[in-house]
Amino acid sequence: MLKSFLLFSAVVLVTLAPTPTLGARPQEATPAPAPAASGAKNTVKPTPESQAKAKKLYDVDCSMCHGDNGNGQTDLAKSMELSLGDWTDAKTLAGKQDGELFDAIRKGKGKMPAEAEGRADDHMVWNLIIYLRNFSKPQPVTPAK
């Protein structure tokens, strides 16, 4: 009796087991997080427009610590006791790869908050890097009127 009951259950289980529907697809895999950019090269070609946007974002999100001219001498940096590199000196960033700077901006570094994708997409982050590397180049002089 028990034996036939077990057999019966087995049959029921097999029949009820969900059969894969024809054409059913495995669930879409959620996209893996973007790989860390360390070692990545900056392939973005800056345009006057993209650099103007980068400047705008820099002035809002970055300059309070790093300074309008990138020298890192700001009241906020002093009050937070940050030791910030002086980007007006080309030597400061000379040894750093773009990929390192990208990671610092995207993930944050020390007391620096991460810049989220929602505020700056990858294209913008690369433009920011170009923008801040330019602090050590001769700045365009606004012609006197």
In the complex with ligand HEC, the residue whose CB is nearer, 10 or 111, is 111
| Binding of residue 99 to ligand HEC (CB under 6 A) | no
Tokens 């006057």 identify what position? 48
CB 128 within 8 A of CB 105: yes
Consecutive H or E run containing 93: helix 90-94
Binds ligand HEC by CB under 6 A, chosen from 71, 82, 86, 136: 82
State how far the alpha carbon of 70 is from the alpha carbons of 7, 9, 21, 90, 94, in Å: 78, 75, 60, 11, 15
Rounded Cα distance between 60 and 137, Å, is: 22
**Closest approach of Cβ 48 to ligand HEC, in Å?**
19
Residues 105-124 that bind ligand HEC (CB under 6 A): 105, 109-112, 115
Q: Which of 55, 85, 86, 136 binds ligand HEC (CB under 6 A)?
A: 85
- Please, what is the angle between helix 122-133 and helix 98-107, to 10°? 120
Task: Answer yes or no whether residue 62 interacts with ligand HEC by CB under 6 A.
Answer: yes
Q: Interface with ligand HEC includes 65 (CB under 6 A)? A: yes
7 binds ligand HEC (CB under 6 A): no
Q: Is 46 in the site for ligand HEC (CB under 6 A)?
A: no
